[in-house]
Amino acid sequence: MSGIVYLVGAGPGDPKLLTVKGRECLERADVVFYDALANPVLLDLAPERAPRLYVGKRSAAHAVPQEEMNERLVEAASAGKTVVRLKGGDPFIFGRGGEEAERLREAGVPFEIVPGIPSPIAGPAYAGIPLTHRDHASSVAFVTGHERAEKTESTVDLGAIGAAVDTVAILMGTARLAGIVDDLKRGGRSPDTPVALVQWGTRPNQRTLVSTLENVAADVEAAGMGSPAIILVGDVVGLRETLAWFDTKPLFGRRVVVTRAREQASSLVSLLTDAGADVIEFPTIRTEPSGDTSSLDDAIAALPETDRVVFTSANSVRYLWERVDALELDSRALAGVSVAAIGPATQAALLNRGVRPDFVAERSRSEGVVEDIGDVDGQRVLVPRADLARAELVDGLRAGGAVVTAVTAYSTVPDVGDATQVVDLLTDGDIDAVTFTSGSTVQNFLAALPGNEARNALEHVCVAAIGPVTAARARDLGLNVTVEAPSAAVESLSEALIRHFTSE
């Protein structure tokens, strides 16, 4: 049985710009062939069983020759596999998708084209440069600055194109920028024509340089800008001063390390990236079910005799619910029980399971939670929690007269992978902030740093703790806490980081 090949445009770099259909193709792929400019984050959308094979091309450096790439696609699909060919930008705009599709048709292999947002459209948009504008440009041309090496002469008359259209967008032309400038001048473009280069458009490390046709080559060399970059020529470049938006975000240009467990990190990562940060995920812990679930099962069986359940985290909800499902029960098991949630994330986890908490504690410290909950004298209270949970909450409830059943719903264990990237960035001074969401993340992060060099580098980095408890643990371990979020919520931590860097 023949498979199928999806030629998928990965878009310009921001993974959120992938199309819905592109995501669906990745989610059902048996194998993924990906290019250098496809954001590697997108590979996580493919099933774990699917091999990810790098076949990237950067300038003259080709990991796999095009002819071989064509045959690999034919071979994989002929073996009955669902193949995703993930290409930066759009497959049919200087992406060689047409050549690959021709070979697939010749071999009788079914294929579909999944367009992507092209980089010469998205990059300028993220730089605040519209390609057309009623007052400045009614026409635009997309031109490659890098033709086939075997061509004896160029088929691109850049001078004529520059004279015929208002805006010229040139891809893959940085290496021959001086020649491009000469061609445009010969075609009649004024030396004062505005020019911009947008490097790594739509990504957190995006750089934009604005110059003129006369000075751009020297300015680019002085700035050390290189590929990949889009060259934009035309009066619309002048609108950047008014329309810039992406690189004016409060955390733009800041590289932030997130040490939270991978399954919990998405909300914090999303908040930071939305604020413009370049986020490095370096999980130092993971959660897993408790090895012995009998105590938790007994507590669930005793819910009809329980007055109140206090959920301390989204994980406490998740792992209790896993046992509820395993016991073939549902949310009705909490009927008649008063439910308390600590923090908005815990509240959201309950709402997702059809349970509206009767009480949501705004304060995250155990002492404040006990005070907020109020009178618990004589109540039977269940507290599902982590194995390393602090004792203050349970002690406080008992001091208030409650009969407390504290059960381990899940375990928190170290989960530190290869620290090479983080250590290198730290020692090179290329990290602006490290975020910690629990005492365990602090302890495990420090344990992952070899020797003193990387740890000493933390003295020059913003150390951000999610709340006073985590901040206190970080200080106990010798760190200088720069940012302390007022509450143990990722929203609070993100806002505190933004306040810190904008005040700088």
* Residues classed as catalytic: 35, 57
Nearest CA-CA partner of 438 in 490, 491, 367, 361: 490
Separation CA 165–CA 155 (nearest Å): 17
CA 312 – CA 385 distance, rounded (Å) = 7
Query: CA-to-CA distance for 319 and 312, rounded, in angstroms?
Result: 12
For residue 268, which of 93, 128, 435 has the smallest C-alpha distance?
Answer: 435
User: How many CB atoms are closer than 10 A to CB 304?
Assistant: 10
Angstrom CA distances, 454 to 23, 52, 62, 426, 441, stand at: 38, 32, 35, 6, 16
Instruction: Give 400's DSSP letter.
Output: T
From CA 260, how far away is CA 257, in angstroms rounded?
9
Name the amino acid, one letter, at 469. Answer: V
DSSP 53-118: EE--EETTEESS-HHHHHHHHHHHHHTT-EEEEEESB-TTSSSSHHHHHHHHHHHT--EEEE----
Say how far residue 61 (Cα) sits from the centre of its chain.
Answer: 27
- Of 146, 114, 416, the closest CA to residue 259 belongs to 416
Could you tell me the CA-to-CA distances from 110 to 47, 53, 98, 107, 363 in Å, in that order? 22, 21, 14, 9, 57
Q: What is the rounded CA–CA span in Å between residue 451 and residue 423?
A: 10
Residue found by looking up tokens 């041309």 in the block: 141
Closest C-alpha among 444, 442, 449 to residue 466: 442
For residues 324 and 319, give the distance between their C-alpha atoms in angstroms, rounded to a whole number. Answer: 9
**Are residues 396 and 370 in contact, defined by beta-carbon separation less than 8 angstroms?**
yes
